[in-house]
Amino acid sequence: LAEIKQLGLLSVMQKLKGSTELELRIVLLGLDNAGKTTLLKCLASEDVNTITPTQVSKYTQNQPLIFHLVYVIDSADKKRFEETGLELSELIDEENLAGVPILIFANKQDLCTASPASEIAEGLNLHTYRDRVWQIQACSAVTGEGVQDGMNWICNNLLKKK
Ligand SMILES: Nc1nc2c(ncn2[C@@H]2O[C@H](COP(=O)(O)OP(=O)(O)OP(=O)(O)O)[C@@H](O)[C@H]2O)c(=O)[nH]1
Ligand SMILES: [Mg+2]
């Protein structure tokens, strides 16, 4: 995990379907330059009132309230696909994160050099993840496209658990 840049812990108060209020904790991870900060800004600009990003300086393995992981990938940086895949698999093998649902953002889809999310999913062997629910979502943190779809997936997971 040492090389994973830890970005932020997001405490999100989401009002779902008008009546339910849920607190959602997200740990946002990814290699440097993947687009984590841009994604946070994108989320914050969409709903400043309900999202409170907190920058934390260090990843602590015993975070008590991790409900979801979000892993960001630069879809246009093919040279680092192997590296990011290794980091992701280490994360998946973390004992403390066993079973934690994971959303993978295939970010920077606005670039014409970006690989499609389906190709990235294959390269990362996502289909072999059997201990948790996972989702890969194509997005652009710059245009905002796909970001809300990813967040909706997380919200739907929470609703299912209730
Ligand atoms: N075209 C494009 N550029 C993006 C996108 N997301 C991020 N970037 C750019 O990629 C670079 C890195 O983005 P950051 O958000 O700083 O990445 P980061 O993951 O926070 O990087 P570190 O803080 O170094 O770990 C910046 O120049 C962003 O403008 C995207 O969806 N599309
Ligand atoms: Mg950053």
Confidence of residue 130 (pLDDT cuts 50, 70, 90): confident
The pLDDT tens digits for 94-126 are 887 888 899 999 999 999 999 999 999 999 999
Q: CB of 78 closer than 6 A to ligand 1?
A: no
Q: CB of 34 closer than 6 A to ligand 1?
A: yes
More confident residue, 3 or 26: 26
pLDDT at 132 over 60: yes
**At 76, which helix (H) or strand (E)?**
none
pLDDT at 13 over 70: no
| ipTM given for this complex | 0.98
Domain holding 18: CATH number? 3.40.50.300
Q: CB of 145 closer than 6 A to ligand 1?
A: no
Confidence of residue 20 (pLDDT cuts 50, 70, 90): very low
Q: Which domain holds residue 51?
A: 5-161
Q: What total of structural domains would you count in the chain?
A: 1
Return the pLDDT at 148: 85
Return the pLDDT at 5: 32
Place of tokens 């920077």: 108
**Secondary structure in 3-state letters for 96-119:** HHCCCCEEEEEECCCCCCCCCHHH
Start-end of H helices in 3-116? 36-46, 81-93
